[in-house]
Every structure is written in C-alpha cells, then in structure tokens.
Chains A and B, each alone.
Chain A
Amino acid sequence: MTDTITPLPESETPGEDPPSKEGRRRLRGAGVGLVVPVLALALWEVGALVGVVSTRLIPPPSQIGATLVDLAVDGDLWTHSLATTLRVLAGFVLGAVGGTILGAATGVSERFQSLFDPALQALRNIPSIAWTPLFILWFGIFETSKVLMIALGVFFPVYLTFSGAIATVDRGLVEVGRAYGFSSARLIRRILFPASLPTYVIGLRNGLGLGWMFVVAAEFLGASEGLGYLLVDGQQTGRPAIIISAIFMFALLGKVTDRLLTSVGVRFTYWQDGFTRRGATA
C-alpha cells in the first residue's frame, strides 16, 4: 500500500513559489515585520551611546553582538547550544513517542480512554517543573533527569491534541470505512490517523515549544554545559551580555526547530482546506 497520505514533491510545497507575485508580497510582509524590532534596537543602541541606558545592566546590541562573536570564536557557543539542542531533541523524541502512543490508544478506544485519561489528566494538573527535585533524586543530576523532565513537558500537549483529534474525526468519514467493512486497524490507519494529522502537527509544535521551556528549568538545576548553564553563569559573573546572548540563542534555536517541524508537517497536511495556511507555517 503506497498511500494513506501522499507526500507532495518538494517543489510543489505550497507557499514556496518565489517567482510569483505571491512570493514578492510575502517578502514585503517579512520586511514590514522587521520595522519594529530594528527601530527598537536602534533606539536601544542610541540610548546606550547617549548614556540614557545603563550599559552595565543593559548592554547595547553592539556589545551583545560582540559577545556572541567572542563566544562563537571560543567555541563555547557551539558547545552550549549543541548540549541544549541534543537534550531537547532527546526529550522531544521520547515525549512525542509516548504522547503519540497513549494519545492514539485513548483516542481510538473508549476503554483505554476511561482507563488512562483520568489519571493522565490528574497528573497534567501538576506543574511539571514540580517534579524536578524528585527526578533528580531518582535519576541523578546528569542527563537522564534532564531529558526526562523535557520529555514530560513534551508528552502532555502531544498526548492531549492527538487523543482529542482522533476522538473528534468526522463520524461521516469513519462510517465510509465501516460501510466497506474495514477492520478497526484499517479504520485507524486509513481514516483516523490521516484525518488527525494536521492537529497532531500542532500538538508536536506545542510540545517542542514546551521542550525548550523545560530545558531551561532542567539546566538551571545543575549543569556544566548548555545554554541554561550560560544563563546562570552570566548572572553569577555579572555579565548581562552573556545572558542576553543565551536568550538570543534560545530564540534562534526554538524558531529554527519549529520551522523544521512545520516544513515537514506541511508536506503531510497540504490537503487542508483552511481559511489560510499562514497560521500553520508562520
């Protein structure tokens, strides 16, 4: 069986046709979006130059840029970014796999739903960061506890959205499968999963976002490398430029990984007849 979802050839991915008017319009849209940040940065820089802003606490953009370059030249930037990214990826994969499996089970089967969902909903109401001390006791302060913390953060949004998406698939479509005498496995594979994919991708994106949030919490609690460590280090040594550089790297990496995830997702959800696709890709 070759179908279920027919991936679109790369060249046909919607929204990637630069020679068109549409492409130019999008470029201009991106340009407009840059006006406010650039203006704010310029004001900040000027404020520091004139002395309105204290450079000791709020270093100007030029100084942050220089710090970033220094860190990059040292190699520290890469070491810390890589350590953090690997933690997020490991936690994301673990949490997403768990969320997908349990989400699929509870979405498809009412028995699983009534068995697992109440317990999971109760656990969800505990702020996941509250688990940290326990995780450190159980798994030590090294990688295991960190990755598991992140996985926990990723798990819930993936679980909730996938389970909900499957449970709310149009009954009319499911009935088409039933009219053909599809087995449950076939109903799931041919109808329930593909129909839930767009919402599932949104769940994965939420999960990834939370993964980046949780990695900071995990790295605050004792790490010798990682962007979270860099944050703490900058605070303890009184170097705000380091802190802001680390924040900048979080923003950059978060955006890049989200973009990667969406560009994969869009190739499987291009068939959606939505009001606009920008919400899904931007």
Chain B
Amino acid sequence: MIELTGVSKRYPSGHLAVSGIDLRVERHEIVALIGPSGCGKSTILRLVAGLDQPTAGQAQVAGHRVEGPDRSAGIVFQQPRLMPWLTVGRNVAFGLDPVDGTPTATSEVIDRVGLGAFADALPRELSGGMAQRVAIARALVTKPPVLLLDEPFSALDAFTRIDLQTHLLEVWEWYQPTTLLVTHDIDEALVLADRVIVLGGTPGPIRADITVDLLRPRSRSDPEFHRLQDLAMGELGRSRQAYQPM
C-alpha cells in the first residue's frame, strides 16, 4: 500500500534528512518508525503525505506516485492543530468537500472517537487527549486508505497516552487503514505496530525491521514484549552510538 524506493531528501539548505530508504507497508498493516532525533522519521512521513517531495527515489501510495497531498492519506500531527474558531464537528468536517455535504460521515466518526457529546464544543473546551481524538477523527472522516501518525501522543501525559493508544486500536478496527506511525517511544511502537522499523542516525539506513507477533490487546508484562523491548532498545542504542559523530 505504501512503498518507498531509494528515497532521499535533501533540503535546499543542503541538510540531508533522509538517505536511501526502501520501505514497504502492506495493506491493513500498522508499521512504526522509531529512531533517534535527526534520523529522518518525520520527514519520511511527510514524503508519504506529499507535504514534501523526495530529492531522489520515489514514494508510492496505493500504486500511485505521491506528487502532492491528496485524499489517499489522512495525517495526525503531534499537536492537534484544530481550527480554534470551529466546533469539533466542523473541525472534523474541515477537509470534506463540499463542507456540509456529508454530515452522517462526520457524526459517525465523531461517535467512533467517543466525542459524540462534544460535537458542538470549541477546541479550547477540550483536554489535550480529547483534542487529539478530534484530530484522529478529522484524519479518518474521508476513510482514506492510509493513516499517517506523526508522534501523535508524545505531547500527552503518560496516562492519557496509554488511554489513547488503546483507543486508537479500537478506532483502527473500523476499516483497518494502512498505518504508518512515527514515534520515539518503543513501548508505543510495540503496543500498536505489526512491525517496528528502527532507523539509524543522521540520517541512516534502516537498521532493524522487527516483526511484533503478539495478539492485541498486548500486555506490557508479556515476556515476549520484554524480549522485543530489549531487542529494539539494543538496535536503537547502536544507532545512537553511530549517531555520536565525535
């Protein structure tokens, strides 16, 4: 569903953000990208979203080369980025075309993220976790085949984060969008993803591709979970050593 072949991204400043990445994400798969800061994980997501263009190689979504943002991917950022002047309902419908065309789709997805009672609330009345749920609803309202999550829970407190991880999986069951998740939290990656991809430093190639063969909902106290934690931590540690340039 998502396919990157030899993708590199160099910014006009000369800074190389992504270097020669090959990556495949199958339909209905959840793949997590982890790595130290500077490894280019967020840039990879932006390339898949079409918000940036690669300087070498190409990104494909659903068999089409990504040439710009389109409706095949919904994206959730680290901050909810809701329009403060619009109600929850109108924020969710923000990308719909025409705006008031499909109220049923809007109310359905708002119910799915559990905010049915807040459709008329303004963003300033929401907690951080609720606002991020609205952002998820907004990304999914058109049922895009691909869901992109850029450190979606890292600005939240630990309890809300765990709560939203569980919640995300429930919402994901709706139509099981192909999901690419960028995170720096190993536990989050292991709780959510079918595969965890560890990226090397400044920027580097893919260092490890760890398959998480555990049934959901996953228990953090499962011995296999611990084994994978250690494995991912080891890979991350090595890539972090490689990251130390001096």
Contact = CB atoms under 8 A, between A and B. Distances in A.
Interface stretch (A68-76, A177-185, A212-220): A177-185
Nearest to B78: A172
Given A2-B100, A172-B79, A271-B124, A180 B86 contact: no
A3 B49 contact: no
A168 to B, nearest CB: 15
A194 B83 contact: yes
Interface stretch (B33-41, B66-74, B170-178, B228-236): B66-74
A192 to B, nearest CB: 11
A38 interface: no
A172 B85 contact: no
| Chain A to chain B: the 5 pairs with minimum beta-carbon distance, closest first | A273-B124, A180-B95, A271-B85, A172-B81, A181-B69
Interface of A: 1-3, 5-6, 170, 172-173, 175-176, 178-181, 190-191, 194-195, 197, 269, 271-273
Given A2-B100, A172-B79, A271-B124, A179 B49 contact: yes
Main secondary structure of the interface of B (DSSP, over half): loop
B63 interface: no
B69 A3 contact: no
A121 B10 CA distance: 37
13 contacts: A1-B99, A2-B100, A3-B99, A6-B85, A175-B77, A175-B81, A179-B50, A179-B69, A181-B69, A191-B83, A195-B85, A271-B84, A272-B84
B68 A181 contact: yes
Contacts of A197: 85
Given A1-B99, A1-B100, A6-B90, A181 B71 contact: yes
B81 A5 contact: no
B98 interface: yes
A199 to B, nearest CB: 13
B51 A3 contact: no
Contacts of A2: 99-100
Contacts of A195: 83-85
Interface string B76-108: 010101011111001000110011100000000
B23 interface: no
A114 B70 CA distance: 31
Contact of B85 (A179, A180, A181, A194): A194
Q: For A3, A175, A197, which residue has the most chain B Cβ atoms within 10 angstroms?
A: A3
A209 to B, nearest CB: 26
B98 A5 contact: no
B150 to A, nearest CB: 11
Given A175-B81, A176-B94, A179-B75, A6 B100 contact: no
A180 B93 CA distance: 11
Contacts of B75: 179
B162 interface: no
Given A175-B81, A178-B51, A179-B51, 13 more contacts: A2-B99, A3-B99, A3-B100, A173-B83, A175-B77, A176-B81, A176-B83, A179-B69, A180-B71, A180-B94, A180-B95, A271-B123, A273-B84
